[in-house]
């Protein structure tokens, strides 16, 4: 493969990699926020991490 | 100084919030499984956030940027290999699903299930050695970023390192893995914002932008700045090595703690499937910044550890610079907290506790609370906290005194190989090959560790290395590949020869989802 092809390839790969990264971050941040607030609520109620996990499984 | 008071205020608010969250998490710690694996209750998206944060530490940003600065666009191949291997793990659950199914908290714990307590002890010692050496450069590289970015005098680099370590140690001691998970989530979002704004401004800066960067790499590196096969520092051996590390690297304790903290083996696998989409960006964005620093300063002889942050400090506007600084602080913390916790957990559960159990003559059975007859759950938490402090002190001294043999990136990979190589035989074959047995595990661990350890020693004493071994000193890719092959072959050969004298223990995965 010649150098010009590598240059074009790296540009496409970089744009695709960046787009995938930001899309996943946005989705995970949005969906994970509920889990984080639930975890903090359990902590304020004095629940241990294992107890919270067991309760979540029961639900 | 490059930053304004607004930028420092943003950083202070973030650091203060992290400390408060970490302190609150103390209430969630009731036993060792809460402290080390957050009670095994992580849901998919939280687990992804915390895994991405850990994999994207400030040290990663620094050594990836260094690769971009030194080798141009060629290191992008690392991102591609990481994508391929993470997709394979996410699709098949390779290693992660089975280890999660066994409900281990540390990787060497598997050694006691499959082999013996002695193998666990040896595996724990090797993992501790590899892990602490590997982490040795983390604090100093993080500190170099802060000094370069803020424009502080370079003589403050060690003081900054100690101050940053103290903050991380404080909140990790409070809530263990629960603190780590909570703070990782905030860090995950901040990091992404820092990445986005940093890259956007580089793309639109009059001196930078894609075309200027391509021209700069062509000028300073030539064609080997673009072609990974032709570049002597990369080539096929490096690509193969990256593939092996990508697959086996999952057994690295800080990486493995996320799937082990997941609520089921299925979630453990799904975490990799989702985070695969981030691995290329995590590698390529910092490399892109490194190339930008080369373009901006136009001097390939500069120290890349300072060049990249100095460039960012100079081109980012007020407010965005503060956000970037907070994001990089987040990157520093998210890796250090996880690594400190992971290695301390291994030292206590796989070295100190087994020794105590051996001395007490207790049976090798796992108790209800996850202990193995050595230290009690409360004593394990106590010792993990103590080791976190000792490790942090060691890191500060090591970072201040050690000089790099090649690049930071290669140092990380060679020190990691001390453990990975033995893991090919002991964990991969232990999980998937019924004949894997104890003598094979001992041999794989010892031989796998010897090759990269020799490299580190020989690099420090090059004048006394025989000529036929010089290629191993000059090319760390060969060291990595050789050690993988040695580790795997050791198990295959020794286990095959000792099947009658040491029949293997079988593990049952039939009920696994």
What count of CB pairs under 8 Å joins A to B?
140
* Contact in structure between B351 and B123 (CB atoms under 8 Å): no
Query: If contacts are CB pairs under 8 Å, which of residues 11-50 in chain A contact chain B?
Result: 11, 13-14, 16-18, 20-25, 28-29, 31-32, 35-36, 39-40, 42-44, 46-50
Residues of B in contact with A56 (CB under 8 A): 41, 43, 263
Alpha helices for B205-303 (secondary structure H): 209-221, 235-248, 253-261, 265-297
pTM: 0.79
What's the Cα-to-Cα distance from B303 to each of B63, B69, B178, rounded to whole Å? 12, 9, 37
First CA to last CA distance, chain A: 56
Q: Tell whether the torsion through CA atoms of B6, B12, B17 and B18 is positive or negative.
A: positive
Rounded CA separation B450/B427 (Å)? 18
Among the residue ranges A27-31, A45-49, B337-341, B400-404, the one predicted with the least confidence is A45-49
Residues of A in contact with B29 (CB under 8 A): 48-49
Closest Cα in chain A to B44 = A32
Residue B133: HSE in the Cβ half-sphere, 13 Å Cα cutoff = 22
> Does A8 lie at the interface with B, CB-CB under 8 angstroms?
no
Close Cβ partners of B193 (under 8 Å, ≥ 6 residues apart): B323, B327
Spell out the long-range contacts of A37-43 with Cβ–Cβ below 8 A and sequence spacing 24 or more.
Answer: A39/B28, A39/B46, A39/B178, A39/B181, A39/B182, A40/B24, A40/B182, A42/B28, A43/B24, A43/B25, A43/B27, A43/B28, A43/B178
pLDDT at B247 over 80: yes
pLDDT at B39 over 70: no
> Does B100 lie at the interface with A, CB-CB under 8 angstroms?
no
pLDDT at B466 over 60: yes
Among the partner residues B41, B214, B227, nearest to A52 by beta-carbon distance: B41
Task: Output B386 or B20, whichever has higher pLDDT.
Answer: B386
Q: Retrieve residue A4's tokens.
A: 């010009």
Among the residue ranges A11-20, B3-12, B105-114, B224-233, the one predicted with the least confidence is B3-12
Closest Cα in chain B to A37 = B182
pLDDT at B441 over 80: yes
Q: State whether A48 and B28 contact (CB < 8 Å).
A: yes
Q: How far is B178 from chain A (nearest CA, A)?
A: 7
Residues of A in contact with B265 (CB under 8 A): none
Look at the block and give the residue holding tokens 């990269």: B452
Among the partner residues B30, B41, B284, nearest to A17 by beta-carbon distance: B284
Instruction: Decide: helix, strand or coil at residue B36.
Output: helix
Query: If contacts are CB pairs under 8 Å, which of residues 231-290 in chain B contact chain A?
Result: 263, 274-275, 277-278, 280-285, 288
> Per DSSP, what are the bridge partners of residue B262?
B42
Q: Retrieve residue B168's tokens.
A: 């991380």
What's the Cα-to-Cα distance from A46 to each of A39, B27, B158, B369, B386, rounded to whole Å? 11, 6, 39, 19, 25
For the beta carbon of residue B237, count every other beta carbon within 10 angstroms: 15
Query: If contacts are CB pairs under 8 Å, which of residues 169-198 in chain B contact chain A?
Result: 177-178, 181-182, 185, 188-189, 192, 195-196
Q: How confident is the model at residue B449 (pLDDT cuts 50, 70, 90)?
A: confident
- Interior CA angle at B191 toward A29 and B228, to 5°? 110
- What single string gives the DSSP state of each residue in B120-158? HHHHHHHHHHHHHHHHTTHHHHHHHHHHHHHT--GGGHH
pLDDT at A46 over 80: no
Closest Cα in chain B to A51 = B39
Q: How far is A54 from chain B (nearest CA, A)?
A: 8
Mean pLDDT score, B335-349: 82
Q: State whether B28 and A56 contact (CB < 8 Å).
A: no
Number of residues written out for chain A: 59
Mean pLDDT score, B385-409: 78
Rounded CA separation B425/A18 (Å)? 36
pLDDT at B386 over 80: yes
The string of pLDDT tens digits covering residues B476-498 is: 667 777 778 888 899 999 999 99
**pLDDT at res. B368:** 66
pLDDT at B30 over 70: no
Mean pLDDT score of chain B, rounded to an integer?
Answer: 82
Among the partner residues A10, A20, A36, nearest to B76 by beta-carbon distance: A10
Rounded CA separation B509/B226 (Å)? 45
Which value does ipTM take for this structure? 0.81
Q: State whether B41 and A50 contact (CB < 8 Å).
A: yes
Q: Which CATH superfamily is domain B5-403 in?
A: Sodium/glucose cotransporter (1.20.1730.10)
Mean pLDDT score, B30-41: 62
Q: What are the residue ranges spanned by the domains of chain A?
A: 22-59
Among the residue ranges A26-30, B224-228, B420-424, B471-475, the one predicted with the least confidence is B471-475
**pLDDT at res. B85:** 92
The string of pLDDT tens digits covering residues B262-286 is: 777 888 888 888 888 888 888 899 9
Look at the block and give the residue holding tokens 């299930």: B113
Residues of A in contact with B30 (CB under 8 A): 48-51
> Does A6 lie at the interface with B, CB-CB under 8 angstroms?
yes
Close Cβ partners of B430 (under 8 Å, ≥ 6 residues apart): B110, B111, B114, B115, B436, B441
């Amino acid at each position: 493969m010649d150098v010009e092809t590598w240059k074009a390839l790296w540009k496409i790969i970089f744009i695709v990699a960046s787009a995938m990264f930001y899309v996943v971050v946005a989705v995970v941040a949005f969906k994970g926020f509920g889990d984080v607030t639930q975890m903090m609520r359990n902590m304020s109620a004095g629940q241990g991490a294992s107890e919270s996990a067991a309760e979540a499984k029961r639900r | 100084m490059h930053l304004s008071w607004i930028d420092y205020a943003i950083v202070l608010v973030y650091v203060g919030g992290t400390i408060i969250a970490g302190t609150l998490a103390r209430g969630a710690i009731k036993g060792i499984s809460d402290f080390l694996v957050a009670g095994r209750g992580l849901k998919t998206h939280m687990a992804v956030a915390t895994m991405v944060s850990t994999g994207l530490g400030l040290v990663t940003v620094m050594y990836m940027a260094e690769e971009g600065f030194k080798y141009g666009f060629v290191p992008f191949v690392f991102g591609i290999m990481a994508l391929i291997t993470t997709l394979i793990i996410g699709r098949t659950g390779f290693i992660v699903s089975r280890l999660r199914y066994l409900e281990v908290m540390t990787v060497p714990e598997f050694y006691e299930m499959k082999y013996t307590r002695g193998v666990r002890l040896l595996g724990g010692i090797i993992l501790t050695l590899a892990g602490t050496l590997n982490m040795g450069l983390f604090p100093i590289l993080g500190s170099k970023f802060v000094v370069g970015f803020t424009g502080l005098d370079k003589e403050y680099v060690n003081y900054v390192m100690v101050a940053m370590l103290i903050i991380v140690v404080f909140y990790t001691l409070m809530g263990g893995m629960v603190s780590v998970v909570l703070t990782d989530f905030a860090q995950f979002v901040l990091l992404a914002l820092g990445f986005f704004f940093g890259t956007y401004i580089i793309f639109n800066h009059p001196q930078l932008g894609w075309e200027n960067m391509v021209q700069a790499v062509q000028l300073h590196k030539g064609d080997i700045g673009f072609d990974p096969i032709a570049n002597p520092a990369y080539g096929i051996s490096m690509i193969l090595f990256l593939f092996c590390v990508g697959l086996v690297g999952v057994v690295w304790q800080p990486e493995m703690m996320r799937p082990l903290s997941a609520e089921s083996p299925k979630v453990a696998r799904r975490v990799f499937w989702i985070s695969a989409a981030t691995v290329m960006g995590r590698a390529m964005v910092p490399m892109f910044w490194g190339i930008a620093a080369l373009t901006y300063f136009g001097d390939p002889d500069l120290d890349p550890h300072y060049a990249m942050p100095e460039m960012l400090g100079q081109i980012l506007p007020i407010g965005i610079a503060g956000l970037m600084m907070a994001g990089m602080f987040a990157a520093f913390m998210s890796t250090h907290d996880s690594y400190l916790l992971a290695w301390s957990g291994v030292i206590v559960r796989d070295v100190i506790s087994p020794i105590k159990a051996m001395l007490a003559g207790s049976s090798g059975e796992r108790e209800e609370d996850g202990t193995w007859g050595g230290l009690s759950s409360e004593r394990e938490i106590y010792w993990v906290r103590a080791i976190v402090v000792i490790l942090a002190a060691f890191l500060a001294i090591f970072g201040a005194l050690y000089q790099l043999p090649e690049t930071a990136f290669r140092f990380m990979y060679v020190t990691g190989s001390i453990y990975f190589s033995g893991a090919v035989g002991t964990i991969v074959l232990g999980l998937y090959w019924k004949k894997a047995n104890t003598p094979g595990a001992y041999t794989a661990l010892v031989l796998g560790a010897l090759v990269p350890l020799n490299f580190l020693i020989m690099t420090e004493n090059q004048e006394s290395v025989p000529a036929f071994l010089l290629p191993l000193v000059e090319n760390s890719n060969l060291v990595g590949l050789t050690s993988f092959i040695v580790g795997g072959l050791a198990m295959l050969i020794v286990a095959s020869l000792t099947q009658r004298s040491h029949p293997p223990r079988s593990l049952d995965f039939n009920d696994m989802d």
